[in-house]
Structure 1
């Protein structure tokens, strides 16, 4: 892999940095501020020490379910704070009228449906809202945040979209970063297969498939159809205000 967003670390899964992505106003995401990855359970002590020494990881946000975190606990960088914010299982259930409507319409791809739920389900939104609270309170220049799930592509993929949108990264860059998971995971298939054993059906369904443009299109259509902008979604659904966005951009951009 030659893309400069990939981080080569033994035993890591889909480990990447958002550093260097350019925003619409010409700024860039700072080095050693925001990382994304799959599970950290297979890291060695030496690997986790490198995350601290070379990338300044001082905060780890784990988006996995309770079961995933219990079965495969993270090997954390020394002194890093750890927060588990499970995006799944979803808590909202379709009403009778919604179920009836689905019965008479073309069935939706289950993974596309889960992507939309990650933006609309109350439990998922609460996890992402808490993620932004942590990001807004972790702004020291010498420390970075690592956000991860199991494969680092779906729950973390949506998290990265939200963070990048909050920082003003163009949509084409957001999409390209999302699709990079397919390249990265080509190098992690054996590790990923082990890490994914004994997981819930929903997680397993998403994890068994590569990321694809249909998932992206569903997310971007939902934002375009139901909200005025990404900023409107962030404020309306995640309580991330315009002032919060300005604070984040000062902290994470250069």
Structure 2
């Protein structure tokens, strides 16, 4: 189905507002980002971007997140046969894909299609149908900070599905979005919080995406000019391609605040704590948090 030029412009504005790749809006950021040397977490893949292990972190009660079980990643549409062989050796059971239908249309996960034994979890949604309900001038994107201030509600369904897979022990599991940093960063931050990893460590893991993302791999060989005629995500990517020509934008505000802290602040203001959010919004209560700890800590 073709989209009119007016409709495409509205869709593009919506996509910018919803922060599908919100780092592209952060043009005014100048504060330096902390460089963390943690390359041992990265899974070396020819066509991968930001595919890494969440294991190895120490919790506040001196336990350790199990390695080789919980992973996070950017889009996996450019994986090579050698990459797929490498991943298959890890016996993955589940992929939780947080991306929209617009993104999936351009960048399908072929690795999963080649492996029907892998559970593929995706909640179908269109980025253009989402609503931040945030005060703004007509036609203006709400910006990155508003996106992170609403992410807990915008992706509540997806987070609930993610935690259900974890509770059902459908692992090894990898959660992903397009860049593996915003939606995936939020999901990973929630999981590490539930497991008892200190906030400082969680933020450091979140910031690693700027080191390990590969924007050129994420764009792949898609003809964005042709796709942009009917796909608003493609039009947005085409518009912002040059902004990441020198590498990913940092995941911090101009004053150096990590974006993920905006999400944490919203949760703590609205729900009182991450634990309360997990319970009230995701139906993950104290008993189930203890189950997660039993499964994924050693």
User: Aligned in 2, Cα 1:87/1:144: closer, same or farther, shift over 3 Å?
Assistant: farther
CA RMSD of superposed structures (Å)? 2.7
Offset from partner CA, 1:54-92 (integer Å, 9 cap, x none): x33111111111121122111325321111135763644
The alpha-carbon distance between structure 1 residues 226 and 71, as it changes in their structure 2 partners (threshold 3 A), is same
The answer (yes or no) to whether the contact 1:52–1:58 under 8 Å persists in 2 is: no
Q: Taking structure 1 as reference, are residues 202 and 166 closer, same or farther at Cα in structure 2, changes over 3 Å only?
A: farther
The reply on whether 1:177 has 2:208 as its aligned counterpart is no
Hey, what's the Cα distance between the residues in 1 that align with 2:233 and 2:105?
13
| Aligned partner (choices 210, 229, 234) of residue 250 of structure 2 | 210
Which residue of the partner structure matches residue 270 of structure 2? 226
Cα distance in 2 for partners of 1:169, 1:180 equals 16
Q: In 1, Cα distance between the equivalents of 2:142 and 2:279?
A: 28
Match of 2:118 among 56, 76, 80: 80
Residue 119, structure 1, aligned to residue 152, structure 2: yes
Tell me how many residue pairs correspond in the alignment: 237
> 8 Å contact 1:45–1:75 — kept in the other structure?
no
User: Could you tell me how far 1:193 is from its partner in structure 2?
Assistant: 3.5
TM-score, normalized by length of structure 2?
A: 0.71
Distance in 1 separating the partners of 2:124 and 2:287: 26
2:46 match = 10
Please report how far the alpha carbon of residue 240 of structure 1 lies from its aligned counterpart in structure 2 after TM superposition.
1.0
Give the structure 1 partner of residue 62 of structure 2: 26
Runs of 4+ in 1 over 4 A off after TM superposition: 195-199, 201-205
Instruction: State which of 232, 237, 242 in structure 1 corresponds to 2:286.
Output: 242
Which structure has the bigger radius of gyration?
2
CA distance in 2 between partners of 1:88 and 1:63 (Å): 11
Unaligned runs of 5+ in 2: 1-36
1:40 corresponding residue in structure 2: 76
Whether the 8 Å CA contact 1:10–1:47 is kept in 2: the answer is: yes
CA displacement, residues 177-201 of structure 1 (integer Å, 9 cap, x when unaligned): 000001112xx23212337845538
Deviation by residue 1:25-54 (Cα, 9 ceiling, x = unmatched): 11111121101011111112221121120x
Cα distance in 2 for partners of 1:114, 1:252 equals 30
Which of 129, 147, 151 is equivalent to 2:160? 129
In the superposition, the TM-score normalised over structure 1's length comes to 0.83
